[in-house]
Amino acid sequence: MGVFSRLSDIVNSNINAMLDKAEDPQKIIRLIIQEMEDTLVEVRSAAARSIAEKKEMQRRIASVGHELEEWQRKAELAVGKGRDDLAKAALAEKRHVAEALAVLEEQREQVEEGLAKLNEDIAALQDKLADARNRQKSLELRHHTAAERLKVRSQIHDERIHDAMGRFESYERKMEHLEGKVEAYDLGRKRGLEAEFADLETDDHVADELAALKQRLGGERTEETHEQE
C-alpha cells in the first residue's frame, strides 16, 4: 500500500469503529499508532522532497527570468543599433524563454498545491495520532483499573466461599459429635421391657402360624392316604 493511500485511510478512519471491532483494543490501538507514526515519517519525507523541488524550481524560474530580461535588453540594443535582424532573433529567443518560464511557473503552482495538501494531511494525521495516544493512555488506565477490581473481587469471593465451606464443615462436625453422643448413650444399655414383650408376642405369633401349617399339611396327607386305599 502506498504512503498516500495509507494516509487517506488513516485520516478518514474512525478510531472508535476500529476499536469496537477489535478483540484486543490495546493491541489494535498500538498498531494504529505505529501505522500513524510510520506514515507521518513518510509524509514528512515526501513534503521535504517537495520543498526541495520547489526551491530548485524557484531558482530555475529566477534564472529563466534573468534570461528573458537579457533577450529583451539585446532586442532593444539591436533596435538602437539599427539591426532589425538581430532584434527579431532576440525577440524570437525571448519568446521561447517566455514559454519555458510559463511551464516552470505552472509546475511550481502544482508543487505548491501538493505541499498545501500535504500540510493539511500532516495536520490531520497529527490530530489523529494525538487522539490515538490519548485513547491508549485511557485504555491502559481502564485495563489496569479493571484488572485490579477483578483481582479484589476474586479475592473477596474466594474468601467468602472459603468461609462458607468452613462454616459448613464446622456444622457437619458438630452434628457428627452430637450423633456420637446419642449412640454412646445406647451402648451397654439393657433392652427395655417393651422390647422384650414385643419379642415374646412375635414368638407366640410365629408358633401359632407353625402349628396351623402343620395341622393343614397333616390333614392333606390323611386325605391322600384314603384316596390311595
In this prediction, what percent of the chain has a pLDDT beyond 70?
57
Question: 156 and 56 in one domain?
Answer: yes
Question: 162 and 203 in one domain?
Answer: no
User: For position 222, what pLDDT does the model report?
Assistant: 60
Domain span holding position 208: 194-229
Reported pTM:
0.50
Give yes or no for a contact between 98 and 58, defined as CB atoms under 8 angstroms apart: no
Question: 202 and 108 in one domain?
Answer: no
Over residues 182-196, mean pLDDT: 56
Residue 183 included in any domain: no
Start-to-end CA distance of the chain, whole Å, equals: 123
Nearest to 5 by CA among 46, 64, 63: 46
Residue 93 included in any domain: yes
Question: 143 and 80 in one domain?
Answer: yes
User: For position 3, what pLDDT does the model report?
Assistant: 46
Residue 52 included in any domain: yes
pLDDT of 166 above 60: yes
Question: 218 and 141 in one domain?
Answer: no
Number of structural domains the chain divides into: 2
Residue 152 included in any domain: yes
Residue 123 included in any domain: yes
Question: 198 and 163 in one domain?
Answer: no
Which of the listed residues 122, 149, 167 is the one where a domain comes to its end? Answer: 167
Measured CA to CA, the distance from residue 69 to residue 144 in angstroms comes to: 72
Helix axes 84-186, 25-80, angle to 10 degrees: 170
And the C-alpha cell for 210? 407353625
User: For position 213, what pLDDT does the model report?
Assistant: 76
Helix axes 25-80, 3-12, angle to 10 degrees: 120
Question: 218 and 163 in one domain?
Answer: no
pLDDT of 61 above 80: yes
The pLDDT confidence band at residue 4, using thresholds 50, 70 and 90, is very low
Give yes or no for a contact between 68 and 101, defined as CB atoms under 8 angstroms apart: yes
Question: 106 and 37 in one domain?
Answer: yes
User: For position 2, what pLDDT does the model report?
Assistant: 47
Question: 149 and 109 in one domain?
Answer: yes
Question: 124 and 58 in one domain?
Answer: yes
Question: 204 and 137 in one domain?
Answer: no
Question: 161 and 57 in one domain?
Answer: yes
User: For position 229, what pLDDT does the model report?
Assistant: 57
Across the chain, mean pLDDT equals: 75
